[in-house]
Every structure is written in C-alpha cells, then in structure tokens.
Amino acid sequence: MLAAMRRKRLLAIATLLLVAGCPRPVPPVLEELSLDFDGAGRATAHIVSRLDEGEEESSRREAADYRDRVDRGDDPWRSSVTEAKPKRDRLVVDRVKGKLVRVERRLEIALPAGVEALFRDDAVRASFVVEGRRATLALVPAGSLARGDEARQVEAAKAELVQRVSSYLEATAAIYRFIDDHPEVRTPVLGALFDDLLSDEDKALHKDFEGDEVPGLDKLGDAWSEADQALQKYLYEEPEKAKPAFAWLSRRAYHPLRARLSVRVTGEVEEVQGFVAHGAGQSYELPEFSFLAAIERATRGVVEPLPILDLAAHAVAEGGTSTVPLANLVARKLVANPVPPDLADRIERELRPESIYQIRWLLPEDAAARP
C-alpha cells in the first residue's frame, strides 16, 4: 500500500523539482514601473517593457500587437505619458535583428497630475497629495484588468484547483487523525510522507514499513497526485500552444496594475499600507500576485504540516538539495481540522488586493519646491 502511494508521490515530486529550477511562465509583455520621489517635491518615472512571447499563439499575437503599436508611435504607455505632461521624456527602443525586444522610458513628471496619469489605464484610483511637508501616494484598487473571457477562464481554473486541494486536505487530515490514535506508526508514516526532505540515514528508519495497517494511504496518494497535477498545470507549466499562461491571466484578473511597481521616497516615512520594503533605503514595492501563496494562506490552520506545500517551498528555495531531520518532523504538532465549506471564498479573499496601497512621508524641511 505504501509503495503505491510512494510511487504516485515520487512522480509528483519529480515533476515539481524539475519545474522548480525552470523559469515560470511570463506575460508576453512584462511591464515595470519605478517611481522616484526626491526631496524637492519632484518625481521621476522609469518604465520598462520587455517582450518575451514564447511559442504559444496567443502570446505571439499580443507581442506582435504591442510591436505594431510602438512602430505606429502609439504604444500602450503613450496616452499616460502625454497626460503626465513630463518636463523631460527619454525614450529608448531596443531591437535584436530588427525585432523589438525592449522599450524604456524615463521621464520627470508634473505633480500631482503626473502620478494620476501614469495609472489611468490600471484598475486603481491613484492620487498624490502634499499638505505642508507631508506627501501621500495612494492607490485604491477598483475593478479588474481581465479582458473578454479571461475572468471566466480564471474562475474555471480556480474551481478545479479548489476541488483538488480540498480532496488532498481531507485525505491528509484522515491520515493525521489515524496517526494521533496510533502513535506507533507516527514516525514511519511521516517519514514516508516527507521522504524527499530526509537524509539517507533517516530514510533507512522506515524503508521496511509498508503501511498496510494505515487505511487511506492509497486515497492520499491519488489525491496528492491529482492536486499536484492541477498545481503544475495552472501555476508552473508553460501554456498550451493556443492558450495564454494561467499564471498571467490570473494576475490580470486579480492584480490591479499592469506593471510591477516600485517606489522610492526621500524623507521621513510615517506610514506604509500594502507596500512592502524592497532593497536598500526607503524603497517599496507593491506585492506581486501569487496563486500558490493565496492557497497556502487560505489553508493555514486547516491541515498542518501540508506535505505538498512544504515540499514545493523546499524545492523552490533549496532546489531539493538540503535535508530536514526526521525528528523535527515527528515533533511537529499535527493539525487535522475539517476542510471549511467556504474554502473557495477564503482563497478568493486571499487573491483580492488590499483596499488601499499607500505611502505617507515628510519631505525634508529644505525642500525647494512643492507640487
């Protein structure tokens, strides 16, 4: 019984380790926006668009459309930049063998209207306000960037992910409850579940354990394999030829900005909401979208530890090269609560952006200008 479950698990983990070292699917046009607010009430915007359409038909179409717009002098940022009324505007277009691969803009924007203009095509209401020395940048999400039937595609995929994850949670919880009632099998069963994290010495401790006395191991193996297949399909694998990658379709559905955003300010920071510190100095970024992180947060406290997520995190962080002592796993408290009927709603809440993203800071006392 245990051998069959191990084969299913090993197949899933082998795939996971394979993709852990591979680049995740990226959108055909990857946008990055950096805003730098200096101490004199001025702001510089740096916009970079990178094209990497891959092999799928839909991505090639989107990249081709972007290239056509740039060639016509009507790239997707043109209206925003024009409305921002930049005092300076520098545009650099990179081509490889005549093919557009990168567009870079650097501009000094007028405040406050320039900030609001840069986000005119995003699903946010943007504002920049200065009262005395206090400056506030605020982004309030409103709506979605998903186009056409993209939202429906994301909903269908999310429903499958929730169903597969729920079955896996239920099967794992059943095994944990059995372990609590039969402590004599705790070490070998946990060793089998987390086998890929263990040293050869720890693996040897349960190598002869077959698990015939543990009901539900086959069911767990099936649920594990099906959940892993769904995670691979939607969160890791490259898309099918004619379909965009779910990884960036779901970002459009839930992330309020088309570009990855970073912000640097000069002055004493008083308050930060939603943004996270990034790099050195007073630099912040808007957190990027992660479906896997949303699932992890939504299932926290339901079933713990959760092998499929622990192994995924380990594979990505360590490349599967380090080990975890079996004694540490055996000592962990096992949590095996019923799967909440509102799991889909919990995941949905974790996917949604914050109600506001805001940075408030004090400009230096010797600021020479005010917007």
Q: Do residue 82 and residue 215 come from a single domain? A: no
Decide: 123 and 140 in contact? Cβ < 8 Å.
no
pLDDT confidence band for 7 (50 / 70 / 90): very low
Structure tokens at 198: 């263990």
Over residues 101-113, mean pLDDT: 91
3-state secondary structure of 269: strand
- 217 in any annotated domain: yes
Tell me which residue of 249, 255, 351 sits closest to 25, measured CA to CA.
249
Asked if the model's pLDDT at residue 10 lies above 70, the reply is no
Residues contacting 193, CB < 8 A, separation 6+: 9, 175, 307
- 310 in any annotated domain: yes
Q: Do residue 141 and residue 155 come from a single domain? A: no
- 370 in any annotated domain: no
Q: Do residue 62 and residue 122 come from a single domain? A: yes
Over residues 226-252, mean pLDDT: 69
Decide: 234 and 246 in contact? Cβ < 8 Å.
yes
- 369 in any annotated domain: no
Residue 16 phi, psi (nearest 5): -60, -45
**For residues 58 and 249, what is the distance between their CA atoms, to the nearest angstrom?**
12
Q: Do residue 296 and residue 344 come from a single domain? A: yes
- 371 in any annotated domain: no
Q: Do residue 55 and residue 172 come from a single domain? A: no
Domain range for 304 is: 2-23+150-247+291-350
Q: Do residue 166 and residue 297 come from a single domain? A: yes
101 CB burial (10 A radius; 0-12, 13-18, 19+): middle
pLDDT digits (tens, 9 = 90+) for 175-220: 999 999 999 999 988 888 887 778 888 888 777 777 778 888 888 8
- 172 in any annotated domain: yes
Q: Do residue 190 and residue 220 come from a single domain? A: yes
Asked if the model's pLDDT at residue 173 lies above 80, the reply is yes
Q: Do residue 209 and residue 279 come from a single domain? A: no
What's the structural domain count of the chain?
2
Q: Do residue 239 and residue 192 come from a single domain? A: yes
- 367 in any annotated domain: no
Structure tokens at 273: 């909401």
Over residues 347-358, mean pLDDT: 93
Residue 262 β-bridge partners? 34, 285
Q: Do residue 111 and residue 52 come from a single domain? A: yes
Q: Do residue 165 and residue 53 come from a single domain? A: no
3-state secondary structure of 335: strand
pLDDT digits (tens, 9 = 90+) for 112-166: 889 999 999 999 999 999 998 899 999 999 988 888 788 888 888 889 989 999 9
**For residues 286 and 255, what is the distance between their CA atoms, to the nearest angstrom?**
10
- 368 in any annotated domain: no
Q: Do residue 39 and residue 106 come from a single domain? A: yes
pLDDT digits (tens, 9 = 90+) for 62-99: 888 888 888 888 888 988 998 988 988 999 999 998 88
**For residues 40 and 367, what is the distance between their CA atoms, to the nearest angstrom?**
4
